[in-house]
Chains A and B, each alone.
Chain A
Amino acid sequence: MIDLTLNAESYRPGEELSGYASWLFEKVPKKLDIRLFWYTQGKGTEDALIVKSIPVDPLSRQGSQEFRFPLPKAPYSFSGRLISLIWAVEIIAEPSWESARKELLLSPSGEEIILLKGNYES
């Protein structure tokens, strides 16, 4: 079981993101990373980039850790009809690949940028 909490869900470029992760595994994982990353979703092939990764050390079957990530200036969180760009923090264990993820928003307004807003139902 893994739990992940972010202290806020929306951020401006350059701000610091902070949060808290806790975990309880059956066995001690071989690797446990907390990652800040973005990825795309939509009609085409997905793109993703790990911006920063914090390895948990020492590894334990049960534990918790606070984390902080300085956020970059770009890219902004946005959604269009064909593509969305989503920022997230994820904690992932190997080799079980158990994971927990929390999405966040990164933009100058702190809100997701909507492309072609008139075409949306919601």
Chain B
Amino acid sequence: MKAKANPFRSYKIEHVPYFLQACPWDKLMEKLKSLSYRVAILGAQGRGKTTLLESLAHRLENRGWKICLLYFCEERRRLSWSALNDLRKACDQKTLVFVDGAGHMPHWFWKAFVFMLAHSGGLIITTHREGMLSPLIRCETDHAILRAVLRYILNGQEDQIWDLSCRLFEKYNGNIRDVLRDLYECCPIDPGKNRREGSHLKQSLTV
């Protein structure tokens, strides 16, 4: 199969929407508001934290908030002081700062980060680490979520690879991202182009 036709190509995987667990969107939004928009999305790797963060950012942008989305990882653990200062100046009470991978920040930088953005409308982070901010939700995966993700990617043809997917789900201890990565190598299904893909060049509000 050509890479561009593989249903598990990275573009498709990155655009899978968040499939909520027990907590519906309106309750999640209520809780977010009650915690003054300063919350952490917790969970192990491959549980959908980033997907939920991006979905939340999109929903809140539609409600009139200004959104600033930052990504941290092992290779990029902090901003420069000038970038942090620019961010501070750009933020106001109508700005929500979203941080993916906040747990990668060194503790001293995290403290400075929170202090510098105290005047912003909110701070919503994903992290494996407990205790950084009040927890909004703990992302978990199960077979129902795995099936929903596969159904979305394969346009309803997930039965053909369900047994294999379940074995991979056990192998990777519930890390759906790793399951999808392995399925790239062995998926025989071409689900066709039923879903229109958006622009490949759209720039999100990513710093």
Is there an interface contact between A84 and B184, defined as CB atoms closer than 8 Å? no
Interface residues of chain B: helix, strand, loop or mixed (majority):
loop
Number of residues of chain A lying within 8 A (CB) of chain B: 28
A48 to B11, CA, bound (A): 12
CB–CB A46/B184 < 8 A: no
Q: How far is the CB of B191 from chain A (nearest CB, A)?
A: 14
* A104 in contact (CB, < 8 A): no
Does A50 contact B201, Cβ atoms closer than 8 Å?
A: yes
**Cα distance, A82 to B1, chains bound together (Å):** 9
Tell me, yes or no, whether B200 is within 8 Å of chain A by CB. Answer: yes
Q: Are B2 and A120 in contact (CB under 8 A)?
A: yes
The yes or no answer to B181 lying at the interface (CB within 8 A) is yes
Contact of A42 among B6, B200, B201 (CB under 8 A): B6
Across-interface contacts of A122 in B (CB, < 8 A):
1-2, 190
Report the minimum CB–CB distance from A34 to chain B (whole Å).
12
| Nearest B-chain residue to A37, judged by Cβ | B201
Encode contact with A along B178-207: 1 for CB under 8 Å, 0 otherwise.
Answer: 000100100010100000001111100000
Of B10, B198, B199, most A-chain CB atoms within 10 Å: B199
Cβ-defined contact, A99 with B198, below 8 A: yes
B22: interface (CB < 8 Å): no
Residues of B within 8 A of A121 (CB): 1, 188
Residue with the highest number of chain A CB atoms closer than 10 Å, among B1, B2, B8, B10: B2
Q: Tell me the smallest distance from the CB of A6 to a CB of chain B, in Å.
A: 17
- Residue in contact with B201 in the complex, picked from A48, A79, A84, A114, CB distance below 8 Å: A48
| Residue in B1, B6, B198, B200 whose beta carbon sits within 8 Å of that of A48 in the complex | B200
- Chain A residue at minimum C-beta to C-beta distance from B181: A43
Note all chain A residues with C-beta closer than 8 A to B9: 41-43
Contact A46 B11 (CB under 8 A): yes
Is B3's CB within 8 Å of the partner chain A?
yes
A43 touches B1 (CB 8 A): no
Residues of B within 8 A of A41 (CB): 3-4, 9-11
Cβ-defined partner of B10 (8 Å) among A44, A48, A80, A99 = A44
| Beta-carbon nearest neighbor of A35 in chain B | B201
A81 B201 Cβ-Cβ under 8 A: no
- Residue on B with the closest CB to A119? B1
How far does the alpha carbon of A120 sit from the alpha carbon of B2 in the complex, in Å?
A: 7
Minimum CB–CB distance from B161 to chain A (whole Å) comes to 16
The 8 sampled A-B contact pairs (Cβ below 8 Å) are A37-B201, A39-B200, A43-B10, A45-B10, A80-B3, A92-B201, A97-B199, A120-B2
| A residues adjacent to B (C-beta < 8 A) | 35, 37, 39, 41-46, 48, 50, 79-84, 86, 88, 90, 92, 97, 99, 101, 114, 120-122
